[in-house]
Amino acid sequence: MRFNMYVCVSQCSSECGNGTQSRGVVCVVQNSGQLEVTSEARCSHLPRPPSAQTCFLKSCGSQWYMTEWSSCSRSCDGGFRVREVHCLQDDLTTSHDCDPALEPCKLCGTQCRKQSNKQKHIDESCRDMYYNCVVVVQARLCVYSYYRTTCCASCSRVTQRDTLHRIR
């Protein structure tokens, strides 16, 4: 009788690029040309193959890679969420072959609770012109007239909030 390890390998976990395959390992005995599964203890003298291996079926080509969405720049009245989006080849170098339909920003915070007249913006034309005004506020750039104009709504909210904190 001859004992041997028999390995069954699963399909690759990825259709392209690197993936993994799991292996099912059983101990078999060859008896009169027939293979029969037997106790693993009977193969304990044999090296056990790894339970997983890497696989690569084909190249994926250029793909989008992106970070998670940021928090919304406003709780209401047309804020934005942003994320980093990069088109990369298999070797992680920049590519221009990805579908341009994927946008790196989207609207959020479009539902608002009714505000009292005291909290409402005085100038209805005061709007943020760029999606990254949250960064302008975080960097405390609202003290400059350019940023107060291009990020009017965000800077006005901060000014209102700071004024309320000083009054209290």
- Report d(CA 20, CA 30) in Å as an integer: 30
Of 123, 128, 86, nearest to 107 by C-alpha is: 128
- For residue 107, what pLDDT is reported? 52
| In the block, residue with structure tokens 């390890």 | 5
Question: Is 50 exceeded by the pLDDT of residue 118?
Answer: no
- CB–CB of 4/30 below 8 Å? yes
* Same structural domain, 88 and 104: yes
* Same structural domain, 140 and 165: yes
* Amino acid of residue 52: A
Who has greater pLDDT, 3 or 42?
Answer: 42
- Report d(CA 160, CA 119) in Å as an integer: 8
- For residue 13, what pLDDT is reported? 93
* Same structural domain, 141 and 164: yes
- For residue 113, what pLDDT is reported? 45
- For residue 103, what pLDDT is reported? 54
| pTM beyond 0.75, yes or no | no
Predicted confidence band at 120 (pLDDT cuts at 50, 70, 90)? very low
CA 117 to chain centre: 40
Question: Is 90 exceeded by the pLDDT of residue 146?
Answer: no
Q: Report how many domains make up the chain.
A: 3
Question: Is 60 exceeded by the pLDDT of residue 165?
Answer: no
Q: Which domain holds residue 26?
A: 2-56
Question: Is 60 exceeded by the pLDDT of residue 162?
Answer: no
- For residue 54, what pLDDT is reported? 92
- CB–CB of 87/62 below 8 Å? yes
Over range 67-75, report the average pLDDT. Answer: 76
pLDDT tens across 11-62, in order? 999 888 889 999 888 889 888 888 889 888 988 888 888 889 999 988 888 8
* Same structural domain, 41 and 69: no
Provide the 10 A C-beta neighbour count for residue 157. 21
* Same structural domain, 120 and 165: yes
* Same structural domain, 102 and 65: yes
- Report d(CA 143, CA 137) in Å as an integer: 10
- For residue 108, what pLDDT is reported? 56
* Same structural domain, 15 and 46: yes
